[in-house]
C-alpha cells in the first residue's frame, strides 16, 4: 500500500483530470465554485447511453464531497429528472444502497467512477426502457 493521498490533493487531481478532459467521454465534472478552497460542491453531467430511452439526453448532477471524502463516498443528486430505481423521485438523490460503487465504496474510487457506473446503470436491460419525465425537467 502506498502513501495515503489526503482529501484536498485527491480532489485537485480529480479536478485536473476533469479539466484536461482525460475523463470518460460520456461524463464530465467540475467544481461548482472555482474559488471554493474546500472544493466541496461539484457539478457532473452524464450523456445518456445510446440504444436506451436516455439516448441524446444530457443529465446534470450535483456531487457533494464532505470532509471525509474519499474515505467516505460523496452524496450524489440528480438535477435533471430521471426515472431509474436508484434515484429518489422526490429529491433526485441517488440511493447509495442501490448503486454498487456507493454501497461498496473504496478509497480509490472517484467521482468519475460514480458517473460512469450511473451511466451503465441507466443502460441496464431493466432500466433502459423505463418511461422518462420530459426532457429538461428538473427536481
Q: Which residues make up the interface to another protein (CB under 8 A)?
A: 1-6, 8-9, 12, 15, 31, 34-37, 39
Q: Kindly state the DSSP code that residue 24 receives in the 8-state scheme.
A: -
Nearest approach in angstroms of CB 82 to another protein is: 31
Q: Which is nearer to another protein, 34 or 136 (CB)?
A: 34
Q: Which is nearer to another protein, 3 or 22 (CB)?
A: 3
Residue 115 has a CB neighbour count (10 Å cut-off) of: 25
Q: Which is nearer to another protein, 34 or 131 (CB)?
A: 34
Nearest approach in angstroms of CB 46 to another protein is: 25
Rg (alpha carbons) of the chain, rounded to whole number: 15
Nearest approach in angstroms of CB 70 to another protein is: 13
Asked if residues 104 and 96 have their Cβ atoms less than 8 Å apart, the reply is no
Question: In whole angstroms, what is the distance from residue 124 CA to residue 52 CA?
Answer: 9
Question: In whole angstroms, what is the distance from residue 130 CA to residue 84 CA?
Answer: 7
Q: Which is nearer to another protein, 4 or 20 (CB)?
A: 4
Nearest approach in angstroms of CB 130 to another protein is: 39
Asked if residues 83 and 131 have their Cβ atoms less than 8 Å apart, the reply is yes
Amino acid at each position: 500500500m502506498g502513501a495515503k493521498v489526503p482529501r484536498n490533493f485527491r480532489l485537485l487531481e480529480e479536478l485536473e483530470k476533469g479539466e484536461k478532459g482525460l475523463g470518460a467521454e460520456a461524463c464530465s465534472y467540475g467544481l461548482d465554485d472555482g474559488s471554493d478552497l474546500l472544493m466541496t460542491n461539484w457539478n457532473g453531467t452524464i450523456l445518456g447511453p445510446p440504444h436506451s430511452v436516455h439516448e441524446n439526453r444530457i443529465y446534470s448532477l450535483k456531487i457533494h464531497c464532505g470532509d471525509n471524502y474519499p474515505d467516505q463516498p460523496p452524496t450524489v443528486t440528480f438535477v435533471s429528472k430521471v426515472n431509474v430505481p436508484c434515484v429518489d423521485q422526490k429529491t433526485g438523490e441517488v440511493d447509495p444502497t442501490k448503486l454498487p460503487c456507493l454501497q461498496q465504496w473504496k478509497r480509490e474510487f472517484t467521482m468519475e467512477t460514480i458517473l460512469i457506473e450511473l451511466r451503465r446503470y441507466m443502460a441496464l436491460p431493466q432500466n433502459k426502457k423505463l418511461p422518462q419525465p420530459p426532457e429538461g425537467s428538473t427536481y
